[in-house]
Homo-oligomer: A and B are copies of this chain.
Amino acid sequence: MRLLLAAGSTETGLIDGLSAAGASATVMGYTPSADAEILVYGRPTAAPVTPVSPTGCPTPAAITRAVREVVGFDATVLKAGLSESTAAPTVDLAADPGADVREAVAVPDAVGIYDRARQFGATLPDDRVLIGETIPGGTTTALGVATALGAPIGVSSSLPRNPLERKRAVVETGLAASDLVPGDCAGDPLAAIRAVGDPVQAAVAGVAAGALEAGVDVTLAGGTQLVAVATVLRHAGIDGPLRLATTSFVADDPSVDLEVAGDRFDLEVVVTDPAFERSEHVSMTRYCAGEAKEGVAMGGALSLVAPDEMAAVRRRIEAVCERLGVDGETTAEDPRSPDARGDGDSP
């Protein structure tokens, strides 16, 4: 079993009010690089930040890492458009960061990224892989691709209140800038990514396609961003078995209907509830309050935890957070402002 994490960034993720407050836009560029280091090393090593929301909610990377420390699994990071360097070892897919979807072309090399990722996926020696993502702004590009494919899906948010209208407006502008209307890319999912997607989608879809060819059991580990990738795969004519493993926080999000998505894209949906309500630590209470929800393959990692290990995982999350310098106390700040935090499943 191997967990693969595709890490990248876009200028879409920097759109004001959509993804993060201006004050943290600089910091956000480091989020995927820091997430990769947390997964591999247990804390950021070269990245200058620990991704934490204004209310103190830590990145899902902390949860995934905690599961890794309890359960033990190999983790491999794919460099899929990082804007900042990372000290984590990476498989380099030679991808540039994505542009702003409101430009004509968001991912000029979508086909190349997909092909390289597919080639990599086809050589994997594992029986089973989980594939997840870390890319700020990823639910907006998920909405973009699904809309371009004519398969609109509900997308989640790392915010308790989902800025869905803003995402839709950005996607609408992006489609117009690419001279597209919804559904225009049906059957040509790489054209959808090229126009209004992000490089991580091309990477995850490519790896999944290659792994399926090689007979590997594939789990898409994440929320609505991974539903969008499943849409991409089905529109590419790939009909192998696909599982989506996500958290109860995504499943409970009223913006999302996983059952419909599972039926439509022939996905086996696995939802794990980590019972975070049994902890008073901010890392877990904020998830219960609807923040973050998913990202960095968190739902996939949690699906590996046996029921009688979940208490150990919760204790380990506290230990990881202590190492990350994440205070156990929730701050008084109101997390309900859509300007406070990212727009994605990822922080």
Contact = CB atoms under 8 A, between A and B. Distances in A.
Contact of A123 (B42, B45, B120): B45
Give how many copies assemble into the complex.
2
A89 B87 contact: no
A92 interface: yes
Contacts of A43: 125
A119 B45 CA distance: 10
Contact of A45 (B45, B72, B88, B124): B124
Interface in A104-143: 119-120, 123-126
Could you tell me the dominant secondary structure of chain A's interface residues? Answer: loop
A92 B88 CA distance: 9
Nearest to A78: B89
Contacts of A41: 124-126
A273 to B, nearest CB: 30
Contacts of A202: none
A27 interface: no
Interface string A193-217: 0000000000000000000000000
B125 A45 contact: yes
Contacts of A124: 41, 45
Contact of A89 (B42, B76, B119, B125): B76
Given A77-B89, A88-B89, A89-B91, 14 more contacts: A40-B76, A41-B124, A41-B126, A42-B125, A46-B119, A72-B72, A87-B91, A87-B123, A89-B89, A89-B90, A90-B90, A90-B91, A90-B92, A92-B92
Interface of A: 40-43, 45-46, 72, 74, 76-77, 87-92, 119-120, 123-126
Top 4 A-B pairs, shortest CB-CB distance: A45-B123, A89-B89, A41-B125, A89-B91
